[in-house]
Amino acid sequence: MQMALAALVVGLVEKTGILDKLPTIPVVGRKGTIALAAWYYSKHGGGNMARKVAIVAAVLSGYQLGKEGSVSGEGDDVSGFAVTGDDIDGDDD
């Protein structure tokens, strides 16, 4: 039930438009940003629910990457990155 509630929180953040206002970290996208922020918060007083939100957001990002080949968020299209192993600076060296 706690993971379902955590998924509800991530869904509500996305539905209300808060997700669109968050900064995007390249490669991880907006849901990945939620995952990283919630994980940090869980380690600094956020508790068990923040940890579960972090896990759910990371799982949803991984699912989207696997299904669509990219993670939502501006400037973070990673299609090909995970598949071809291109280096992070994009110069293919």
Residue 74 backbone phi and psi in degrees, to 5: -70, 140
Read off the amino acid at residue 86.
D
On whether residue 73 sits in a domain, the answer given is yes
Instruction: Give the global pTM.
Output: 0.65
On whether residue 32 sits in a domain, the answer given is yes
Confidence at residue 92, expressed as pLDDT on a 0 to 100 scale: 54
pLDDT band at 78 (very low <50, low <70, confident <90, very high): very low
Please provide the size of the chain in residues.
93
| pLDDT higher than 90, residue 40 | yes
Domain count, the chain: 1
Confidence at residue 89, expressed as pLDDT on a 0 to 100 scale: 54
On whether residue 93 sits in a domain, the answer given is no
Environment class of residue 82 by beta-carbon count within 10 Å: exposed (0-12), middle (13-18) or buried (19+)?
middle
Confidence at residue 32, expressed as pLDDT on a 0 to 100 scale: 85
On whether residue 62 sits in a domain, the answer given is yes
Residue 5 backbone phi and psi in degrees, to 5: -65, -40
Confidence at residue 88, expressed as pLDDT on a 0 to 100 scale: 53
Choose the weakest-confidence range: 18-27, 35-44, 48-57.
18-27
On whether residue 90 sits in a domain, the answer given is no
On whether residue 76 sits in a domain, the answer given is yes
Residues 2-23 have a mean pLDDT of: 82
Domain hosting residue 71, numbered range: 2-84
Confidence at residue 42, expressed as pLDDT on a 0 to 100 scale: 92
- Give per-residue burial for 39-64: e unless 16+ CB within 10 Å, then b: bebbeeebeeebbbbbbbbbbbbeeb
